Structure 1
Amino acid sequence: MILFRLFPLVASVTAYVVNEGTECHLYPESSTHNGRPVDDTPSILQAFELCGTNGSVVFPNETFYVNQVMNTTNLLNCDVSIYGELIWSTNVPYWLSHSLPVVFQNLSAAWIFGGTNVTVKGYGQGRFFGNGQTWYDENRNNSNQPGRPMSFVIYNSTNVLVDGLTWLQSQFWNTFVSYSSNVTMSNIFVNSTSNDGNQTMNTDGSDTWNSNNVRYYNWTVQNGDDCIAIKGNSSNIHARNITCYNTNGFPIGSVGQDPGYPDYVKDILFEDATLIDSNNGGWIKAWQGVPTTEDANGDNGGGGGGWAKNVTFRNFRLDNVALPIYVTECIYSSDPSVCDTSTFQISDITWENFTGTSKYDLISSIHCGAKVPCPGLKFIDVNIETRNTSLGLPSKKPVYQCANIVNQNATGVNSTGIPCNAWAPGDVPETPTHNY
């Protein structure tokens, strides 16, 4: 047995890694500092350096404090077991100036993780605690803040399994899968909720970007933003048995943001989903075709090309969802005059077996851009009633808004199965606040 101790810049802090052959066991510095919280980042990084290739890293059922960014990429045939809890510090100035860039939308990460043939298992007890309330209060209901880090980014990886872990109070997005293939994340619990009036903006459960063959199985998510979102250049994504509370549901997008980098999304299946008190269900959000330098999301863009096709939302159970089915090609513009300028093509999208209740009378709003009408959109067994109807209270007639759908008019179902009975304005908000 070899006990490795590191001496970083602060001499009083030493790493605590026990290395037995190819297996590294981590122990928190607090155990040698009378229980005082001490930064465990040096020892965590050392454990991955020693055992990240053809080895294993074990976090026992202890509390570990993460006060610095971590980059543990290029792992190979590595198994990670997390029985304890990792807690990120509340040092906002440090994270804003040191979080690691991930290229996409000027976002950054607290921990970039990746490699080939890697497992990360929490056995139902491993937890990541991001101290997110500090960030929700810092952000004050605004959206993208440069430097605000994502908890855990899977980057440039192949054959990765993440199973049995919990994310609590994430700083920003909980997880992000980027430039990776054959990734499975299963049996995951996410809860990012605020204990005051500051909302948990941008606390997505997970997002994919430039990735393929990604699977999400058996998730429970409670947050203030997307449950699971599919960004550009994602393909063969399968999400199954996902329960979402107070989320923005399952969007494709946003896409079409950058004129220089078209987005392509195909072969996406969301199935067996339950959405409770959420803003949206299964939906697609694209940018307008005219670039803007400022928008409501704290970012800028528009004018990007590409397409999204062969997307299926199947077996959705809804309980008090504000806008269950939604397509927009003007997601962040405040100018309705540009809402028909998008050239992002949406096609072959199916909503199948949708049951339950909507919060208002607006069941669906589908506005495809006039330049790129949408072919192949279908409703199959969509039976959603208003919340009031389900309670036996007076309710308006359900509204199905449509615009620029191929083989569809405003008077009947036709071949799409979509019972259009109203025109879909280009600027319908993603979160309605009233009946239509």
Structure 2
Amino acid sequence: MARCSGSLAIFLCVLLMLTSCQALGSNIDDGYGHEDGSFQSNSLIKLNNEDDVLTLKSSDRPTTESSTVSVSNFGAKGDGKTDDTQAFKKAWKKACSTNGVTTFLIPKGKTYLLKSTRFRGPCKSLRSFQILGTLSASTKRSDYSNDKNHWLILEDINNLSIDGGSAGIVDGNGKIWWQNSCKIDKSKPCTKAPTALTLYNLENLNVKNLRVRDAQQIQISIEKCNNVNVKNVKITAPGDSPNTDGIHIVATKNIQISNSDIGTGDDCISIEDGSQNVQIKDLTCGPGHGISIGSLGDDNAKAYVSGVNVDGATLSETDNGVRIKTYQGGSGTAKNIKFQNIRMENVKNPIIIDQNYCDKDKCEQQESAVQVNNVVYRNIKGTSATDVAIMFNCSEKYPCQGIVLENVNIKGGKASCENVNVKDKGSVSPKCP
């Protein structure tokens, strides 16, 4: 470039340089790939006024990326001996407060010893609770002094999936509690024992591939939940373990339980007050006390259950088959219930409605009862282990209404029917007198 000298020459040189820069800039690709020149970078450009230098600052916009929070990264040993409770609480705090789709991970191949632990929401974006290892309950009863009713609780979380993978286990180590139960040793006082896994106030919940065993008392309790899907769950405990209901449902709406195997010391599935639209499919039950609606109306309470449908089940060597039990003195309704496509194998009380249920030392006849109506038993076959295969023990003042037996064939026992309106369809044996 020629050297500029003199005022006029300098002015002309500056003008020439500016014109060249504008022409050059028009041919430079701005890097955005948009004809309108709109800015879509993931970074913000900031001018540093002190030295007139352009610097880049990371965007503060929330990420949509997924992340996994493992308890191992927060000090959990997983050796089955070290108390990992605090490590789990720290990991939970992180997982619950993280933006983006988050997984709370309990790694495979280890056993984590835990005291009573509460996993509380609401959480920002937690979507998965993966139990791939074993959770083992502390056997020290003093570790439950702050909460004698619960071991593990998940509460106030929406859109959550609880997945046991191929090896996940929840082990309540309940033997120490069973030994001290008044139902096992009548010299012992009747005291509370923890539920192994409580799912409370959850909406849009999926539970799958979970293994729960030897709960201190109830194995899984689903309470005050809505839109629940439980699939491929296996629950085990000795047949003489007290109060170890498999799945306990309370005040829960729109729940489906399918492809599950439950053998325990109490009801395989128990359905209590406030539950609506309960769908049970492809269930294997035994040992245990069968599938129970109730007990309802204890201590003169009002109770309401409706829309229960059991479709496809095999019950083997259980104390009861399909049962509805209500206390005298209660009120409310148990209605719109259907038991169908069920096989009974050596079951003591295959079909039973008991409106006079009482578990107290002294029971007196009372005026009120929970009304039972619109109950259908369809395609139920098998054998009774007692001489009564069908028992309807209904209230004199509030008799059972709308009871239908359709294609029922239970061998080995008779029917005992009191204060009940029964309609037979197809082949029915035994029949109410």
TM-score between both structures, scaled by the size of structure 1: 0.77
Residue type at the aligned position of 1:204: D
SS at match of 1:49: helix
Equivalent residue letter for 2:102:
G
Question: Aligned pair 1:80/2:137, yes or no?
Answer: no
Task: Kindly indicate whether residue 407 of structure 2 is the aligned counterpart of residue 381 of structure 1.
Answer: yes
* Alpha-carbon distance in 2 for matches of 1:180, 1:219: 20
Change (3 A) 1:21 1:347: closer
Distance in 1 between the 2:254 and 2:141 partners?
Answer: 35
Counterpart among 73, 98, 106 of residue 59 in structure 1:
106
Task: Provide, for residues 151-177 of structure 1, a one-character-per-residue CA deviation record: whole Å limited to 9, x for no partner.
Answer: 111111100111101011111100111
Cα distance change, pair 234–416 in 1 and its aligned pair in 2 (3 A): farther
**C-alpha displacement of 1:32:** 5.7
Percent identical residues:
26
2:341 corresponds to which residue? 315
Gaps of 5+ in 2: 1-64
- 2:116 corresponds in structure 1 to 68
Tell me which residue corresponds to 2:396.
370
SS in 2 for 1:309: strand
Aligned to 2:56: none
Alignment partner, residue 203 of structure 2: 158
Equivalent in 244, 247, 255 of residue 214 of structure 1: 255
Which has the greater radius of gyration? 2
**Which structure is higher in RCO with an 8 Å CA cutoff and minimum separation 6?**
1
Q: Which residue of 2 aligns with 1:351?
A: 377
Distance 2:258 2:66 in 1: 34
Task: Give the whole-Å Cα distance in 2 for the aligned partners of 1:350 and 1:63.
Answer: 45
Q: Which moved more, 1:338-347 or 1:53-62?
A: 338-347
Once the 2 structures are TM-superposed, how far is the Cα of residue 417 of structure 1 from its aligned partner? Answer: 6.1
- Structure 2 equivalent of residue 399 of structure 1: 414
Query: What residue identity is the alignment partner of 2:94?
Result: L
What aligned pairs does 1:64-213 form with structure 2 within 5 A after superposition? Answer: 64-75=112-123, 76-95=125-144, 97-99=145-147, 108-114=149-155, 115-142=157-184, 145-193=190-238, 199-213=240-254
- 1:28–1:371 Cα change, 3 Å: farther
- Corresponding position of 2:364: 338
Aligned to 2:292: 251
For these two proteins, the number of residue pairs brought into alignment is 360
Aligned: 1:275 with 2:315: yes
Deviation of residue 359 (structure 1)? 0.6
What's the CA shift for 1:338?
A: 3.4
Q: 1:415 to 1:219 in 2, by over 3 A?
A: closer
The CA distance in 1 between the partners of 2:358 and 2:102, in whole Å, is 46
SS in 2 for 1:280: coil
CA 1:36–1:353 in structure 2 vs 1: closer, same or farther (change >3 Å)? Answer: closer
Secondary structure of the residue aligned to 1:125 is coil
SS class of match (2:298): coil
CA RMSD of aligned residues (A): 2.6
Residue 209 (structure 1) shift: 0.9
Residues 21/188 of structure 1: CA separation in 2 closer, same or farther (3 Å cut): closer
1: distance between equivalents of 2:432 and 2:355? 20
- Partners of 1:111 and 1:151 within 8 A in 2: yes
Deviation, 1:343, is 2.2
Matches within 5 A, 1:9-24: 22-24=67-69
Structure 1 spans left out of the alignment, 5+ residues: 1-19, 101-107, 290-303, 387-397, 423-436
Determine if contact 1:378/1:418 at 8 Å carries over to the other structure. Answer: no
Tell me the TM-score normalized by structure 2. Answer: 0.77
Partner AA of 1:183 in structure 2: V
Q: Which residue pairs with 2:5 in the alignment?
A: none
In 2: Cα distance, 1:28 partner to 1:64 partner: 14
> For 1:276 and 1:288, how far apart are their aligned partners in 2?
30
> Per the alignment, in what secondary structure is the counterpart of residue 123 of structure 1?
coil
Q: Secondary structure at the match of 1:94?
A: helix
Counterparts of 2:367 and 2:163, CA distance in 1: 46
Q: 2:80–2:113: 8 Å Cα contact kept in structure 1?
A: no
How far residue 45 of structure 1 moved from its aligned partner, in angstroms, is 1.6
Q: Give, as a single letter, the amino acid of the residue that structure 1 aligns with 2:177.
A: W
